[in-house]
Structure 1
Amino acid sequence: MPGTFTKPATFTNPVYPHTMADPFVLKHEGFYYAYGTAPGGADGRAFPVLRSADLVQWEPLGFALVPPGGTDFWAPEVAYRDGTFYLYYSAQGIEGRDHQLRVATSTDPAGPFLDAGVVLVPDQPFSIDAHPFQDDDGTWYLFYCVDFLELEDDHRVGTGIVVDRMIDMQTLEGRPRMVARPHEDWHLFLKERAMYGDVYEWHTVEGASVLRHDGLYYCFYSGGAWERENYGVSWVVADHPLGPYRRPADGGRALLMSTLPGALIGPGHNSLVQSPGGNETWIVYHAWGPDRTGRRMCIDRLRWEDGRPVTDGPLASAQAAPD
């Protein structure tokens, strides 16, 4: 059990040796639970679940979701409210549809999670990367990704992030606002991508993770091609969860983290969590190793300098463990 481990003084990324893409970490009753995109289990369930007391030493607990059908499952995130855990994810192939956001519930953070039979964004042909966020006043919001095919201002065609208020944990208000669309060269996913009956120079902004700091709302996102070196993490900021969101003035590159050549490639799709002592914020993300055999879970400290989020990551050398 994680509680019997000796707290490590240092660690080296990655913190888990197996595939754990799109890692989301939930802190609940003194333990951390990590959920990720990876091949399913022998029992047919999707999404590996890990547990830790210190963010460094992780114990596998099996797999979370009892699939309601479908063939492909991406980017799980879990919220807790009034005794119930809600797992938000996307699935492909249910009723012949492309990826659609769904929700499953459990009374245990390790699952099993049973699908609620709800498509969260039924009017979109494609929706992924749900991120539930609760504001200080108790209101819940869901950040998620959809595709944009129209050119507007300096935005590029491709996948972007929107946010909607949640009426309850399984129902959206239905008034999504734009958070971030691809707008930079480094957001390129694929040139000449055939989509929706046409061919586009496709760009991508995805994997929202929101943190409130000094009264502002920072939406961290990953941009670029998830399997390539240009994938990295940046942010936009707003005065309210519904926006409008502003870009950093020097946003022409991945401002928070980008590829560490030969070590940690394409870092991204992060979540954010407090350290065991509660006095540090850590960014949890995936990255490829040089062998390119899988995206593995890594962690680095997040700090603030002159009102801006910064990290030394991605770090592949030994560093002090979370405090």
Structure 2
Amino acid sequence: MTSLNPLYPDYFADPFILKHQDRYYAFGTGRSAREGMAFEVLTSPDLQKWESLGGALLPVAGFEEGDYWAPEVAHHNGKFYMYYSVGHGDKGHHLRVAVSDRPEGPYQDQDIRMVPNEPFAIDPSPFQDEDGQWYLYYARDFLDGERVGTALVVDRLKSMTELEGNPQVVLRASQDWQIYQRDREMYGRTFDWHTLEGPFVVRRNGKYYCFYSGGAWINDTYGVNYAVAEHPLGPWVEPHNHASILNTHLTGLTGPGHNSVIVTHDGSDGIVFHAWDDDRTRRQLYILPLVWTPEGPRVERSPTVQVQS
């Protein structure tokens, strides 16, 4: 059991929070297109009291019964761009983009497969550098090397709906804690499958930090770590100890991960993530303080914001 309480009682996985004007908007995996709209969107004035606004994305033609994963939203030139993946179950996921005039939506898909040659791509995360250039980080499958599995890449955005088409590797799996499943059958072969997913980049103290989740989202091996670079395209370097900075041991929560970062009211950073409830039936929304030290970012156990009893 943990003393931490979720900030929203219902299912809300892969959480991303956008601040626009004086409100926060949270987007997450959970509400399916079968209910009319994909991706539930929540809103809050203070990161504590959340209200559901319903679904955010109009279903994509051909994927009315699809599975929609991990939305993130960028605001650029008065428009809101939602990046996400859709597939059937865990098969055929590909990256797409939808546009809205309002942060809460509704978002209209632009009928674009952003990486059409990838058999599997998930977790797109937009990042704008100080010079105005946008980049898209995402996860794709690698079948070469010692640690086969899903890992992280980045590509420049030529526009908000088109990638340059020259993805650079951000990070490949390097540790056993990043194993998703041993002897997993994939692409007609059997692998000890590793997973790095959910990239999210921030610039702090003159460097770029790419947070990511590793392991198996379905159990307590899941956790968050980071890599550091001098440029959004890398090269990226992992910290020497390779240990996750957000995990079940730190939080008492099962499988904390798939994070984003939000600047809170006082200007400090909060790490936004999901974790399983005690019955392992729902992944729910949490925020903890993300503190910057000379050794790197550290997650604090005490909540940044907490629901009132």
Which one of 55, 66, 72 corresponds to residue 63 of structure 1? 55
- 1:145–1:320: structure 2 CA closer, same or farther, 3 Å change rule? closer
2-structure distance, mates of 1:148, 1:125: 11
Contact 2:31–2:37 (CA under 8 A) maintained in structure 1: no
Q: Structure 1: state its 5+ residue gaps.
A: 1-10
Which one of 36, 44, 68 corresponds to residue 73 of structure 1? 68
Q: Structure 2: state its 5+ residue gaps.
A: none
1-structure distance, mates of 2:229, 2:252: 33
Contact 2:271–2:287 (CA under 8 A) maintained in structure 1: yes
Partner of 1:7: none
Partner of 1:305: 293
2:270 corresponds to 1:282: yes
Contact 1:33–1:109 (CA under 8 A) maintained in structure 2: yes
Which one of 249, 254, 257 corresponds to residue 265 of structure 1? 254
CA deviation map 1:209-250 (0-9, x unaligned)? 111011100000000000111100000000000000001011
Which one of 203, 209, 220 corresponds to residue 218 of structure 1? 209
Under a length normalisation based on structure 2, what TM-score does the superposition of the two structures give? Answer: 0.93
2-structure distance, mates of 1:92, 1:289: 26
| TM-superposed deviation, 1:56 | 1.2
* One-letter identity of the residue aligned with 2:257: G
Range with greater deviation from structure 2 (120-129 or 97-106): 97-106
Partner of 2:100: 106
SS state at 1:136 partner: coil
User: What is the identity percentage for the equivalent residue pairs of Structure 1 and Structure 2?
Assistant: 48
Partner of 1:44: 36
Q: How many corresponding residue pairs? A: 301
Partner of 2:226: 235
- 1:59–1:41: structure 2 CA closer, same or farther, 3 Å change rule? farther
- 1:319–1:148: structure 2 CA closer, same or farther, 3 Å change rule? closer
1-structure distance, mates of 2:168, 2:67: 27
Contact 2:148–2:192 (CA under 8 A) maintained in structure 1: yes
CA deviation map 1:256-311 (0-9, x unaligned)? 1111489411100001010123x210010000122111100000010112141001
2-structure distance, mates of 1:106, 1:24: 17
* One-letter identity of the residue aligned with 2:260: S
- 1:77–1:319: structure 2 CA closer, same or farther, 3 Å change rule? closer
* One-letter identity of the residue aligned with 1:21: A
* One-letter identity of the residue aligned with 1:284: V
* One-letter identity of the residue aligned with 1:274: V
Under a length normalisation based on structure 1, what TM-score does the superposition of the two structures give? Answer: 0.89
2-structure distance, mates of 1:41, 1:30: 29
Range with greater deviation from structure 2 (65-74 or 294-303): 65-74
